[in-house]
Structure 1
Amino acid sequence: MNIVHKVTLRLLKENKRRTLVTIIGVIISVAMITAVSTISVSFLDLVIRQHIANNGEWHVEYKDVSLEQITAIKQDDNTKTLMLSSSSYAVLEESENDYKPYLYFQNYNKEGLENFPIEVIEGRMPERSDEIAISEPMISNAKTNFNIGERISIPVGKRINMTDGTVLNQTDPIVWDENIINEEIQVAETRTLTVVGIVERPEWEPAWSPGYTVIGYVDEQNLSNAVPTDAMVVLNDLNGSLFDDAKNLADALGIEKINFNSELLRYYGITANDNLRSTLYSLASIIMAVIIIGSVALIYNAFAISVSERARHLGMLSSVGATKKQKRNSVFFEGAVVGFISIPIGILAGIAGIGITFAYINQFLHGALGVTEKLELVVTPASILLAIGISIVTIFISTYVPAQRASKISAIDAIRQTHDIKLSGKKVKTSKFVRKVFGMEAEIGLKNVKRNKKRYLATLFSLVISIVLFLSVSFFTENLKKSLILSQDNIQYDLQIYSNELNKNELNKFANLDHVTSSTLIEEIQLEALIEMEALPDLLKQQITENNIPLQDGKYPYYVSLHSLDQESFRSFAKQIGVNPEDFMQSGNPAAIVIDQISYKDYDSGKIIETKAIETEVGNKLDLYAIFYEDAESEEAHRQFVTSLHVGALTDQVPPGVYSASLGGVNLIVPDTIFAQLPIEQEYVNTYLYLNSTDPMATQAAIEKWQEPSLHIYNVEQHRQRGEQMIMLMSVFAYGFITLITLISIANIFNTISTSISLRKREFAMLRSVGMTPKGFHKMIRYESLFYGIKALAYGLPISILVMFLIYRAIGHTFEYQFQLPWLSILTVIVMIFFIVGTAMLYSIAKIKNENIVDALRQENI
């Protein structure tokens, strides 16, 4: 260790406060980087484990494979585990549930039974191809008893839609045609089976599925050609080439169809969707850049202030012959020492902080979100190396500029302390307007800001970075949540009930069942409206121009979904959007609520787009027409005027059961009293009842007991809960990250301002020595705070808006919606910047206000 390094270490020990402030700043930065990488890895680990717990683990599925093809797949270098499965249906004799008249045989080999989440209640899992385990709900819903040890002989085959001949599966509900089941089982073979166990209903069986699950066994050596067998593979190496590799293998083996577990692969960061990949990579790059810039700002300020305090020390080194390289290296060495101490502590602090956070979150994770897995602290070598690498780079960048400044400090400048303050009349000149309006204290404060240029810029840089950090991260997290919400269906109910025979009064009786908490009865009819070009959204105008879509008398034919809500539901919805429901009950002047904001998936671009449905205003009139044809073969449509409705309100919210229209369509909401007066044929009206229930499965069972063949029940409990879980989890991490960024920004500002104020003790002592009163002194500080805040906002807000727009463009690879500034966050930033700057300055002044003037004037930074 050379003499310069020894002197640097001695100064670090002697200036304990400054060294401690610098170390704490680096620890905070490293902890933030570590926390972000650990949160990302741990969150993905939770999502992956939860998906596997619900659906099993597989990556590629090869459909309808033979024994030779199975052998070849097993021998492929990238095959880790090979699972075989087959499925078939059989009629469940004397089923008590008209909507579940089948047995659904889901058969696996040994590896498949071990991999897929199946819970045994009694007995055991099948071990031979002539053994089965039945699901528990089947026992209570079938008159035929299936006891463990009982042998049954049953014909099995495919479900076939009798209208078009398509093969149906578990996600397809029963096909009805005028209360008669319009499908059949195409029998392939008759199997004799022994019941060896009872299992819980598997997670992958939807509530509306038509068959009770039966678990069977696939014997690889005795495959039946009558029942097609699929091969599901867990791969050794997961990378972007697996899609092409799997397709090439399928082509080589003559396999016609393959599927990928896209959802699970997406969690591993692998997707065939180029738009989604671009979104993920773009967002990751932007957020990492924001984090690095924030870290550099925090650490840079610590070292920049350190160099200012060490000016005389550096001048002393220069006076005894130290070269520019040695002075520069002294700062780099200080950075290395600080990093050697801070990086391990920062990494441990970041991991410990996230571990404590996870322990707290896990207390309510299962109850609030319904997930079965817990958040586990996952620390990978890659995440630690990433945190160390980024921390080293940020420390180097942060020390580079101060090191260059240190190398240029001459002995004379250091002794005279002119390295920070180089004055000219022009540089400190202020407007007469400032003194005239705000007073002498404001003018002195503004001159101080201009006089201490480098310290002022360091403080300003901290403020600007804090603004950019907070707004960028809050915008990112809110838009990520919005994107997730857009990707979910707008499901606000548990059960949808439809019947083409029961009227609304007969349907409404199900709203009084046990467990039902709320209900909405909706009647809807499809109509048409001719809309002027100026009322069309820009996106639709563009499509009309590009595709040369013909207009009718200069107007575009909109499809209109007219929805009628029952009285209670309509009043509730009207109050929800802030309008008076009584304004829509007047039959003499009927009005409708128009859903003028829509989101839909554009299958050509693969994007989810949010846009205006129609450009209209409250008070405008819409003429509605019914469309009919002369006969079934006629292509010429005729319009029949139905009614005119005024636009009573515009909203982007939808009531339960109403789905967003696509481009070129619009939803209108009216009360049932107005709907009943319209001259429309009831045969064209569809009636739905939407229920929310504390126990959707029990409510469905109660409805099914009515044994009404025309009833169609859609239970969306699992789908809706999954969407809510993802949004809730995202919210927890999003707001946790925003809180972290906010605390770091506040610490950064306090650190910079308090240290800067400490360096100005002589300046403040001089002002007090020439007669400035405590009141005037505090007034000057308040104006300095005001100037700092205004200047920081003048730079920080435009930069933040630019970063937010880049994030918006990155998300635009997959989602498309209008760019909107987060005005509430901007207002919060404006208030908080002035509050934090003022508080930091007053806190720092309070620490030095009682110091002796003479001692402060004699102070030297050493």
Structure 2
Amino acid sequence: MNIINKLTLRHLMKNKKQTLVTIIGVIISVAMVTAVITLGSSFMVLMQKETIKEYGNWHVLYKDVNKDQLEAIKQDTATKQLITSKERGHALLPGSQSVNKPYLFIKAYNLQGFTNFPIELSKGRLPERPDEIVLSEEIATRAKVDFRIGDQLTLHVGQRFFQGAPSDTKVSHNEPLQFWDGKRAESLIHTTIETYTVVGFIKRPVWEQPMAPGYTALTYVDENLIGTNQTVDASVVVNDIDSTVFAHANDLAQKNNISSVKTNDSLLRYYGEMSGGLGETYNSLFLIVFFVIVVGSVSLIYNAFAISVSERSRHLGMLSSVGATRRQKRNSVFFEGAVIGVISIPLGIICGILGIGITFHFINPILEDAMGVTEKLTLVVTPLSLAIACLVSIITIFISTYLPAQRASKISAIDAIRQTMDIRLTNKTVKTSKLIKRFFGIEAEIGLKNLKRNKRRYYATVFSLVISIVLFLSVSFFTSGLQKTFELSQKGYNYDIGVYENDEETTLDEHLVKSIISLEGVTEFNLLERMDGNFVWLAEEAISEDVKPYLYRENDLYKYRIHVTTMQEEKLRVYAEEVGVAYAKLTNPDHPSAILIDTMTFKDEKGKFIETRGINGKVGDMLDLVSTDDKKETVNQVELVSVTDRFPKGLVPSPFEVILVVSEPVFDQLMKKSVFVSAYSGLYLKSKDPLKTHQDIEEMSQDVSVMNLFQDRQRSERKMLFLSVFVYGFVALITAVSMANIFNTISTSIALRKREFAMLRSVGMTPKSFHKMINYESIFYGMKALAYGIPISLVIMVLIYRSFTYSFSYDFELPWASILYVITAVFVIVSLSMYYASIKVKKANIIEALKQENL
């Protein structure tokens, strides 16, 4: 080691506090980058596991392929695993006592399919031949049919069709039983007789909807027995998951005349691969957020070095006075950065990983208790994340050391030792407004002059504050946008079970409703009655631009469907209070009034999710509800007493339809005065055990249809919970880093001003005046930082919003709560940081502080 490097090490050891502050700054920066990347990769792996558990492990699905096409898929270089499957169809379940679930739904897989799809064997074994079958264990509990391993089943297997419909309109296996006029209106056609041997039982697969009319039964598909005219579905696990997976699948389908190809977008997006507008959205978002985080990281490390430029310049000036060359001085600073980097980077990586690991340790029990989540957040550390953290830190340390080294190497030894390049004062430089002194006193003027005189430290501190503000607001806006887009892409059910009469134009029996809501397990309910058949004619200016292309237009007016709903009095009172309207305003049938739910979501023809208002209604507006048949037209006027986006239990956003909530007296009056309208009711429940409640309702009455949506709702809530963990973890991390950045920068800046404060105290500044001066400096710091930080943050927010609009359309809203939080937090944190540092400065002996040259 040469003499320059030895002196550099000695300098670092002599200035232990400054060296420690710099090391801490670098550790925080590296920990932030490591933690953010680790949090992101861990979240993605968790979502991969959850998606595979729900939908199976496959990437591309080729529908209805023949034997030759299947062989081409198998020989394709991208194919890693091949799963063949076939929906055999439905068959009536012999002896079933379940009226609303009378079928077996039979699906066949090869051995790879039994491995890659979420199939859980509870007893026996899986099929190994086409004449073997496993049955859902729910058949015994719900259908009351007791099968045993070894039993022979002879079934008439066919396809479900709506009775009287054209032959090409097949009913999906997850759709509930079809009824018309209170009678079952579907049948099985194209049936074949098939015989199976029961070899085992499985738990109900997650893909089987509770309202589906068929119990799942699985058999085996033998690829060698596929005939020339027979087809199967081929699901592929690809070798390498990258952006070419979509184009390659389409090319393979085109070359082999495969008519239908589908990618598992639900899974691929969690590998970072998305097609179309969604890919553009998240790629641009990733670049923006990554840029903000990298700039934040750079500022942390740079400030840790830049705040002590004066001390390094004095040291370099001493080296220059004894003959050190420019190159040696630069190398000295680079060596200092390398030493700090060697110490800080490994510690920063370890701290980042440990921090996220400890967070996951405490979060996993909460996830398990809240949602019964079986998949846990596991710490995922990739070589790429470590490499990125190291690379960003090394580049930043190089930049942070290069700039002061270049500046110090160009000045003379005398100037460097005197540090005259840091303080070049003119009257203009420290000039302040007379109003400052008049309104705020001499302390405010001295504080402002201090900042002007020490511009480098002042700018470094303000820059640190600005970066912290931008980091927090940008990440907060990004994460709230992420939650918003997730909500738009989900169905948003707010109930578990819906109960309806089989005849859609009748209402539920009152006695039956009381019996259902008294069932054990039912926690919440809402009985809604709905009127269909009303519409309004609206002028162009009253219609959202997003909706106009989908509406019928006549004579410059747009026709808009109106869905009128009522609920029981006690429920409506609670809902009216939630939306801020007095219940009494809704009860006058002679002057009908309503609550307008004017929010809808839909997916346009390009696959873009749209959230918009429907008719731009305002409180006090009168709506003309029109109902008509061939002979007569009626018009009923309804006044809007509230406009909201809150949905009562049982209602969800519906595309191109406006919802009016009215009281029961108003509903009855509108029914009497309208023609060609129909009314029916639905009971919407939340339950502790939705499957048992579903079964109890079916056993209670055979005249109702039960729609069990708890699986969809639970899946959405679980994903929202995972996303919330990621979102709030991300925001909490950025908040902690920002606070540490501010505290570190200001504390160091104040500590370097010991001599300055000692001089003020030596000429008679009292402790009270000193406190006032520090407080005013805190205000100046905060105002300057907010003046730059908020506008820059707004620009980044607009860029993030524009990125989201590639795939989602919703109104831009400023995060006022986050902005107010930032304004408050900046002044509080700055004040506390300066107060803490100034206490330590005040305790120093004036004489010793005036003599001190180093920390």
Aligned to 1:261: 264
1:701 pairs, out of 685, 688, 695, with: 695
Write the distance in 1 (CA, Å) between the matches of 2:674 and 2:192.
Answer: 51
1:821 and 2:814 matched: yes
1:797 and 2:798 matched: no
- 8 Å contact kept, 1:366–1:372: yes
AA partner of residue 528 (structure 1):
F
Write the distance in 2 (CA, Å) between the matches of 1:297 and 1:62.
Answer: 50
2:652 pairs, out of 650, 653, 659, with: 659
| Superposition pairs of residues 141-540 of structure 1, within 5 angstroms | 141-142=142-143, 144-162=145-163, 163-165=165-167, 166-223=169-226, 228-272=231-275, 274-499=276-501, 500=504, 502-506=506-510, 508-509=513-514, 510-524=516-530, 525-537=532-544, 539=546
Write the distance in 2 (CA, Å) between the matches of 1:850 and 1:343.
Answer: 34
1:724 pairs, out of 696, 710, 717, with: 717
Cα offset for 1:362? 1.4
Write the distance in 2 (CA, Å) between the matches of 1:682 and 1:628.
Answer: 6
Aligned to 2:85: 85
- 8 Å contact kept, 2:627–2:676: no
AA partner of residue 130 (structure 1):
D
Write the distance in 2 (CA, Å) between the matches of 1:196 and 1:782.
Answer: 80
2:669 pairs, out of 652, 672, 677, with: 677
- CA-to-partner distance for each residue in 1:289-327, whole Å, 9 max, x for gaps? 111111111111111123222222111122233333332
Aligned to 2:684: 690
Farther off after superposition, 71-80 or 21-30? 71-80
- 8 Å contact kept, 1:477–1:734: yes
1:286 is paired with a residue whose SS is helix
1:649 is paired with a residue whose SS is strand
Write the distance in 1 (CA, Å) between the matches of 2:738 and 2:146.
Answer: 67
AA partner of residue 702 (structure 2):
E
Write the distance in 2 (CA, Å) between the matches of 1:36 and 1:570.
Answer: 45
Write the distance in 2 (CA, Å) between the matches of 1:109 and 1:770.
Answer: 90
- CA-to-partner distance for each residue in 1:609-629, whole Å, 9 max, x for gaps? 222323333222111111334
Cα offset for 1:683? 5.8
Write the distance in 2 (CA, Å) between the matches of 1:565 and 1:623.
Answer: 22
Cα offset for 1:589? 2.5
2:756 pairs, out of 756, 763, 769, with: 763
- 8 Å contact kept, 1:189–1:226: no
Aligned to 1:138: 139
TM-score (norm 2): 0.95
For the structure 1 residues 453 and 388, does the alpha-carbon distance in structure 2 shift closer, same or farther, using more than 3 Å as the test?
same
Write the distance in 2 (CA, Å) between the matches of 1:589 and 1:730.
Answer: 46
1:115 and 2:116 matched: yes
2:259 is paired with a residue whose SS is coil
Residue ranges of structure 1 left out of the alignment (5+ in a row): 631-637
Aligned residue pairs total 845
Write the distance in 2 (CA, Å) between the matches of 1:606 and 1:169.
Answer: 22
- CA-to-partner distance for each residue in 1:157-212, whole Å, 9 max, x for gaps? 32233313222332222222223333222245322211111111111111111111
Cα offset for 1:861? 3.2
1:749 and 2:742 matched: yes
Cα offset for 1:550? 4.9
1:80 is paired with a residue whose SS is strand
AA partner of residue 263 (structure 1):
S
Write the distance in 2 (CA, Å) between the matches of 1:685 and 1:804.
Answer: 46
Farther off after superposition, 19-28 or 605-614? 605-614
- CA-to-partner distance for each residue in 1:749-781, whole Å, 9 max, x for gaps? 111111111111111111111111111111111
Cα offset for 1:66? 2.9
1:807 and 2:812 matched: no
- 8 Å contact kept, 1:132–1:194: yes
- CA-to-partner distance for each residue in 1:29-84, whole Å, 9 max, x for gaps? 11111111111111111111122223321112222233333333222222111121
Residue ranges of structure 2 left out of the alignment (5+ in a row): none
1:560 and 2:552 matched: no
Aligned to 1:101: 102
For the structure 1 residues 403 and 582, does the alpha-carbon distance in structure 2 shift closer, same or farther, using more than 3 Å as the test?
farther
Aligned to 2:766: 773
Write the distance in 1 (CA, Å) between the matches of 2:246 and 2:541.
Answer: 46
Cα offset for 1:452? 0.7
- 8 Å contact kept, 1:87–1:227: no
Farther off after superposition, 682-691 or 759-768? 682-691
Cα offset for 1:539? 4.7
Cα offset for 1:146? 2.0
Cα offset for 1:120? 2.0
Aligned to 1:634: none
- 8 Å contact kept, 1:188–1:226: no
AA partner of residue 707 (structure 2):
Y
Write the distance in 2 (CA, Å) between the matches of 1:629 and 1:398.
Answer: 81
RMSD: 2.1
- 8 Å contact kept, 1:136–1:200: yes
For the structure 1 residues 277 and 657, does the alpha-carbon distance in structure 2 shift closer, same or farther, using more than 3 Å as the test?
same
- CA-to-partner distance for each residue in 1:616-675, whole Å, 9 max, x for gaps? 332221111113346xxxxxxx7421x211111111211122232435x42211112210
Q: Identity of aligned pairs, percent?
A: 51
For the structure 1 residues 861 and 260, does the alpha-carbon distance in structure 2 shift closer, same or farther, using more than 3 Å as the test?
same
For the structure 1 residues 639 and 412, does the alpha-carbon distance in structure 2 shift closer, same or farther, using more than 3 Å as the test?
farther
Write the distance in 1 (CA, Å) between the matches of 2:583 and 2:107.
Answer: 52
Write the distance in 2 (CA, Å) between the matches of 1:722 and 1:68.
Answer: 38
AA partner of residue 806 (structure 1):
L
Aligned to 1:786: 779
Cα offset for 1:733? 1.6
Write the distance in 1 (CA, Å) between the matches of 2:240 and 2:335.
Answer: 42
Write the distance in 1 (CA, Å) between the matches of 2:809 and 2:63.
Answer: 35
- 8 Å contact kept, 1:292–1:394: no
AA partner of residue 657 (structure 1):
G
2:604 pairs, out of 602, 606, 609, with: 602
Cα offset for 1:540? 5.4
Write the distance in 1 (CA, Å) between the matches of 2:365 and 2:159.
Answer: 46
2:492 is paired with a residue whose SS is coil
For the structure 1 residues 690 and 712, does the alpha-carbon distance in structure 2 shift closer, same or farther, using more than 3 Å as the test?
same
Write the distance in 1 (CA, Å) between the matches of 2:144 and 2:224.
Answer: 36
TM-score (norm 1): 0.94
For the structure 1 residues 364 and 219, does the alpha-carbon distance in structure 2 shift closer, same or farther, using more than 3 Å as the test?
same
AA partner of residue 675 (structure 1):
F
AA partner of residue 647 (structure 1):
L
AA partner of residue 41 (structure 2):
V
Cα offset for 1:404? 2.7
- 8 Å contact kept, 2:529–2:679: yes
Write the distance in 2 (CA, Å) between the matches of 1:851 and 1:152.
Answer: 93
For the structure 1 residues 77 and 187, does the alpha-carbon distance in structure 2 shift closer, same or farther, using more than 3 Å as the test?
same
For the structure 1 residues 589 and 338, does the alpha-carbon distance in structure 2 shift closer, same or farther, using more than 3 Å as the test?
same
Farther off after superposition, 45-54 or 275-284? 45-54
- 8 Å contact kept, 1:309–1:861: yes
Write the distance in 1 (CA, Å) between the matches of 2:380 and 2:105.
Answer: 39
1:168 is paired with a residue whose SS is coil
- CA-to-partner distance for each residue in 1:403-454, whole Å, 9 max, x for gaps? 3332234222223222222110011111111111111111111111111110
Write the distance in 2 (CA, Å) between the matches of 1:350 and 1:444.
Answer: 41
Write the distance in 2 (CA, Å) between the matches of 1:406 and 1:624.
Answer: 79
For the structure 1 residues 154 and 654, does the alpha-carbon distance in structure 2 shift closer, same or farther, using more than 3 Å as the test?
same
Cα offset for 1:700? 1.0
- 8 Å contact kept, 1:311–1:861: no
